[in-house]
Amino acid sequence: MSTFLPHFPATFIVTGDPLIYGAEVSIVLATVGILFVLTYFKKWRWLWREWLTTVDHKKISVMYLIAALLMFFRGGVDAMLMRTQLIRPNMSFLQAEHYNQIFTTHGTIMILFMAMPFIFAMFNIAVPLQIGARDVAFPYLNAVSFWLFFFAALLFNLSFVVGGSPDAGWVSYPPLAGLEFDRGPGENFYLLSLQITGIGSIATGINFMATILKMRAPGMTLMRMPLFSWSVLASSILIIFAFPALTVALALLLIDRLAGAHFFTMFQGGNPMMYINLFWIWGHPEVYIVILPAFGIFSEVVSTFSGKRIFGYSSMVASLMTISVISYVLWVHHFFTMGAGPGVNSFFAVATMCVGIPTGVKVFNWLFTMYRGRIRLTVPMLWAIAFIPIFAIGGATGVMLAAAPADYQYHNSFFLIAHFHQVLIGGTVFGMLAGMYYWWPKMFGYMLNERLGRWAFWLFNSGFYVTFFPQYLLGLMGMTRRMYTYPANMGWNTLNFISTMGAYVMGIGFIVLVMDVVYSIRFGERDVTGDPWNGRTLEWSLPSPAPHYNFARIPTVTSRDAWWTSKQERSRSDAPRKLEPLQPIHMPKSSGRPFIMSAIFFIGGFGLVFNWYALGFLALLGVLVSMLLRSLEYDTDYYVPVEEIEQTEAALGRA
Amino acid sequence: MDKTTYRKRSRTRKLGITAGLSLLTTGCGERYLVFRPVGPVGQVEKDLIILSIILVLAVIIPVILLLWRIVWRYRDVPGNPAPYDPEWSESHVLEVIWWGIPIVIVGVLGAFTVRDTFLLTKPPERTAAPLTVQVTSLNWKWLFQYPDQKIATVNYCEIPTNRPIQFILSANGPMNSFWVPQLGGQEYAMPGMAMRLWLQADRSGVYYGHGANFTGRGFAHMAFNVIARPRAEFDGWVQQVRHSAPVLTRVGYQSLVQSSIVEPMTFSAYAPGIFESALLKEGGMYMKRDLTMLGRSHGH
């Protein structure tokens, strides 16, 4: 029965490295500081009522954004540490163990705990407002998704100081990630935290698909829907069909590790290749899950700041949907070198090249949206314009990698590293930063500072080229990824040095970005009109930030770019608009249960990490009880009375 | 076995393509191993890489020029005389063009890709009989066994020039990938699997090789050299090894399997069946068909 009792491994608290001691001290200090501030200013009740129990998509969006920026910082620090270790050959800045942990957490955090919450922040702030809805289809579930993500991220990051971080790469291939070669709890942290956040992601996918399909304002047919919402629909479909594969892969590997099964072990007929297939059946669609919303943002931003309709709307929709279908039949290109027959490799090679076709079409459509427009070079537009050359080159190297026999020479080399950073940073990160600057006034009611924003943009963008172009060359010189050190005689030294310098410049760019946020909280220009960019879609018809019910009256849509059209109609006629009388608004009630249930998930996950089954099963029971209580709850919604709506609207200056 | 053509096909293409891109590959020195192939496999791959670079440049360059031009011409400054047409958003002619161009490019690159993918599963065109080398990735070292010569090495591999080498890849440990850039592209070395990779060196030399798939703490030290020399010299080396080096016993093999980083080693003989038994122990049921295939390729 000893396994049912808490058993503390010798390395429960990670020790032995100055970096880790520093982190431990700063975590304790930060926690104490936060607790003190909340208590001193009597903010506990405010925190609980306004944030921890909220089901409002706009507040959930804010929380996703803050979490994404924090995780961007953590993943970015990992990147700086790695690049510092590689600045010269034979550096002893990091030991192999630390380097391995750091590239593992860098990849995992950047994809699952930075990119995913960042896109969800954008989903949440923009989709309901763009389609004229008062919230998402399932607001309570939306809160569950956020808190599952939040506690999963907490669990994952906890591994840094408790038990040790995972170190088998973000792909976590067995048998390296199996018990034979990895006894420590780090790998369990990886498996359980991804499992928990994965549940949240699937729920978000379902939620936004339902929202977009069922909750559009009257008159907003699918083909009148803003392209960002289209991209969210495509991304949600991908989430729903791809994440279950990850769930299965992680669950089977966890069963291998906890219960000694042999799905993916080397011995007893286990088959590690099956994990690799399952992982990438999720993993490839995953990169489109995080890139398609960025495409949507670029479509909005380019059209708004060119003062022009998006070019080739139908083709843009067709290419989004084509990409989401093709992306399911590409996964084998992550392992052309695993020895599948030439027929299989040929199929996946050509399919991979085919995804370049709709993507190329989108690039040309963005270009021709700007053509004969009036281009305002605001910060969101700068990110969108800079995206085009980076993504064109990143896409091109993607097509090069797709040629299977050529891939035999690029695979797992720095050429590959440069490629996927180019598409993921140039695509997703640039897209999310464009979206952040674009929708920031809608989220917070004030603008981010343009001047600091430009500095951040130029530093980050130029640092990007300096960091990643040398890595293409390093790959062609034979340097493979995940090497914590390299010999001095291969001719790799100069290029590695340059790459590290570029990474530092990107790091400075990120710091300036944070400075911009901090500066603007105090000094940012207030957005009193609700339409600071002369926008085209419905979110700009609302005050910034929007009232909690979004629309006092649900608008009726008669065309694409609904807000643009209605602004033009108003400028043409002076006749006073006829307003429908206000109706009471049906809204969901706040609930603390998503927070509590996710906290129980966290406790159970933590228990299973250390094989404390009693705690694990107790927590599972707690989760089931939470769900049961929710099912028995009937008082979940209320009506906002007309007087309250009138008062709110009047206070916002809208009659 | 169908021994077509590698060489002839790649030569016709080489004439047309490499001329234009010689700038990319020469003058940058000898360090770009992928662009310095010494055998037919690496050559086929290099040609395909160069073709793909040309094809994608045909898209990237116009895109970047167009972007630069459009942003400059239509920027929002007072008195900009360029036309402003906020409602213009459809053109079937233009859209047909940019659906069409990528389709043509993918068609061309796809055709060459498929051809070369099939080509590389066959031995390079040579009259010489292939030499088999069994490669095992161990934590964190490479074991090379020569079933025909009955000798073994660790962390280096000697091969004869101008003779196709049939590398049979496996692992007794985490999955790795066997990569010698100047000979040609890589393939995974996995526990419980034996996979074939054809390579060949046409010139004598010492070629850098490294594991390409992360295997844990000592992964960065999994470098090895492939030493290619003329047949006679290779045979002389084999004779010398047979007479001078120690034997790799089962116990010795078991100690190699343990995690460690070691210097290159040489063995005059090895306990029979270590490669096959490691395969079978680790779920080689997937490999029964392949094992018979491999059995046929050596041993006479």
Residue listed under structure tokens 């961007």: A72
Q: How far is B250 from chain A (nearest CA, A)?
A: 19
Indicate if the pLDDT at residue A343 is higher than 80.
yes
Residues B97 and B145 in one domain: no
The predicted model gives A480-505 an average pLDDT of 96
pLDDT at position B124 is 86
Residue of A nearest to B118 (CA): A342
Largest CA distance in chain B: 89
Backbone angles phi, psi at B269, to 5 degrees: -165, 165
- How many angstroms from the chain centroid is the CA of residue A58? 17
Q: Under a CB-based contact definition with an 8 Å cutoff, are residues B172 and B139 in contact? A: no
Residue listed under structure tokens 């590409």: A330
Q: Can you tell me the distance from the alpha carbon of A242 to that of A281, in angstroms, rounded to the nearest whole number?
A: 7
Tens-digit pLDDT profile for residues A35-77: 888 888 888 899 999 999 999 999 999 999 999 999 999 999 9
CATH number for the domain that contains residue A490: 1.20.210.10
Please, is A223 exposed, middle or buried when counting C-beta atoms within 10 Å of its C-beta (0-12, 13-18, 19+)? exposed
Total tally of structural domains belonging to chain B: 2
For residue B19, the enclosing domain spans: 6-119
Portion of chain A with pLDDT greater than 90, in percent: 87
Structure tokens belonging to residue B181: 């850039």
Confidence band, pLDDT 50/70/90 cuts, at residue A571: confident
pLDDT at position A1 is 36
Decide if B117 and A173 are in contact by the 8 Å CB cutoff: no
Decide if B63 and A356 are in contact by the 8 Å CB cutoff: no
Decide if A100 and B56 are in contact by the 8 Å CB cutoff: no
Q: Can you tell me the distance from the alpha carbon of B150 to that of A581, in angstroms, rounded to the nearest whole number?
A: 93
Residues B11 and B114 in one domain: yes
Of the three residues B119, B150, B182, the one that is the final residue of a domain is B119
Of A225, A403, A185, the residue nearest B119 (C-alpha):
A403
pLDDT at position B2 is 44
Instruction: Please name the member of B75, B116, B177 whose beta carbon is closest to the beta carbon of A337.
Output: B177
Portion of chain A with pLDDT greater than 70, in percent: 98
The answer to the question of residue B125 being in a domain is no
pLDDT at position A357 is 93
Q: Under a CB-based contact definition with an 8 Å cutoff, are residues B137 and B189 in contact? A: yes
Residues B100 and B11 in one domain: yes
Instruction: Please name the member of B117, B175, B184 whose beta carbon is closest to the beta carbon of A404.
Output: B117
Q: A80: phi > 0 → left, psi -120 to 50 → alpha, else beta; which?
A: alpha
The answer to the question of residue B24 being in a domain is yes
Structure tokens belonging to residue A578: 């006829």
Q: Under a CB-based contact definition with an 8 Å cutoff, are residues A324 and A288 in contact? A: yes
Of B136, B175, B140, B163, the residue nearest B152 (C-alpha):
B136
Indicate if the pLDDT at residue A495 is higher than 90.
yes
Q: Is the peptide bond before B140 cis (omega within 30 degrees of 0)?
A: yes
Decide if B76 and A375 are in contact by the 8 Å CB cutoff: yes
Q: Can you tell me the distance from the alpha carbon of A351 to that of A308, in angstroms, rounded to the nearest whole number?
A: 34
Structure tokens belonging to residue A72: 């961007």
Q: How far is B25 from chain A (nearest CA, A)?
A: 11
Q: Can you tell me the distance from the alpha carbon of A502 to that of A505, in angstroms, rounded to the nearest whole number?
A: 5
Confidence band, pLDDT 50/70/90 cuts, at residue A251: very high
Q: Measured on CA atoms in the order A550, A554, A560, A561, is the torsion positive or negative?
A: negative
Q: Can you tell me the distance from the alpha carbon of A310 to that of B87, in angstroms, rounded to the nearest whole number?
A: 9
Instruction: Please name the member of B34, B59, B94 whose beta carbon is closest to the beta carbon of A360.
Output: B59
Residues B199 and B67 in one domain: no
The answer to the question of residue B300 being in a domain is no
Residues from chain B that touch A349, judged by Cβ atoms under 8 A, are 110, 113-114, 117
Chain mean pLDDT for chain A? 93
Q: Which residues, numbered 29 to 68 in chain B, qualify as contacts with chain A under a Cβ-Cβ cut-off of 8 Å?
A: 29, 31-35, 42, 44-46, 48-49, 52-53, 55-57, 59-60, 63-64, 66-67
Residues from chain B that touch A485, judged by Cβ atoms under 8 A, are 220
CATH number for the domain that contains residue B173: 2.60.40.420
The answer to the question of residue B154 being in a domain is yes
Of the three residues B81, B96, B119, the one that is the final residue of a domain is B119
> What's the one-letter identity of residue B139?
N
Structure tokens belonging to residue A239: 């989430």
For residue A227, the enclosing domain spans: 2-651
Structure tokens belonging to residue B102: 């990528």
Decide if B60 and A392 are in contact by the 8 Å CB cutoff: yes
Residue listed under structure tokens 């460690």: B260
Residue listed under structure tokens 């896109």: A119
Chain mean pLDDT for chain B? 87
The answer to the question of residue B124 being in a domain is no
Q: Determine which of A167, A371, A390, A568 to mutate to test the interface with B (most B C-beta atoms within 10 Å).
A: A371
pLDDT at position B290 is 57
Confidence band, pLDDT 50/70/90 cuts, at residue A136: very high
CB-based contacts of A332, cutoff 8 Å, min separation 6: A277, A280, A340, A344, A345, A347, A348
pLDDT at position B7 is 55
pLDDT at position A31 is 83
Residues B23 and B94 in one domain: yes
B177/A contact by beta carbon, under 8 A: yes
pLDDT at position A163 is 86
Tens-digit pLDDT profile for residues B66-103: 999 999 999 999 999 999 999 999 899 999 998 999 99
- How many angstroms from the chain centroid is the CA of residue A526? 28
Total tally of structural domains belonging to chain A: 1
| DSSP code at position A169 | T
pLDDT at position B19 is 47
Residues B141 and B286 in one domain: yes
Residues B158 and B102 in one domain: no
Q: Can you tell me the distance from the alpha carbon of A228 to that of A123, in angstroms, rounded to the nearest whole number?
A: 9
Confidence band, pLDDT 50/70/90 cuts, at residue A183: confident
Tens-digit pLDDT profile for residues B252-294: 999 999 999 999 999 999 999 899 888 887 665 555 555 555 5
Residues B88 and B218 in one domain: no
Q: Determine which of B35, B43, B74, B286 to mutate to test the interface with A (most A C-beta atoms within 10 Å).
A: B74
B94/A contact by beta carbon, under 8 A: yes
Residues B260 and B239 in one domain: yes
Confidence band, pLDDT 50/70/90 cuts, at residue A19: confident
Q: Under a CB-based contact definition with an 8 Å cutoff, are residues A246 and A331 in contact? A: no
pLDDT at position B3 is 45
Of the three residues B63, B95, B119, the one that is the final residue of a domain is B119
Indicate if the pLDDT at residue A82 is higher than 70.
yes
Residues from chain B that touch A181, judged by Cβ atoms under 8 A, are 139, 173-174, 216
Decide if B187 and A339 are in contact by the 8 Å CB cutoff: yes
CATH number for the domain that contains residue B47: 1.10.287
Of A573, A554, A461, A556, the residue nearest A510 (C-alpha):
A461
The answer to the question of residue B51 being in a domain is yes
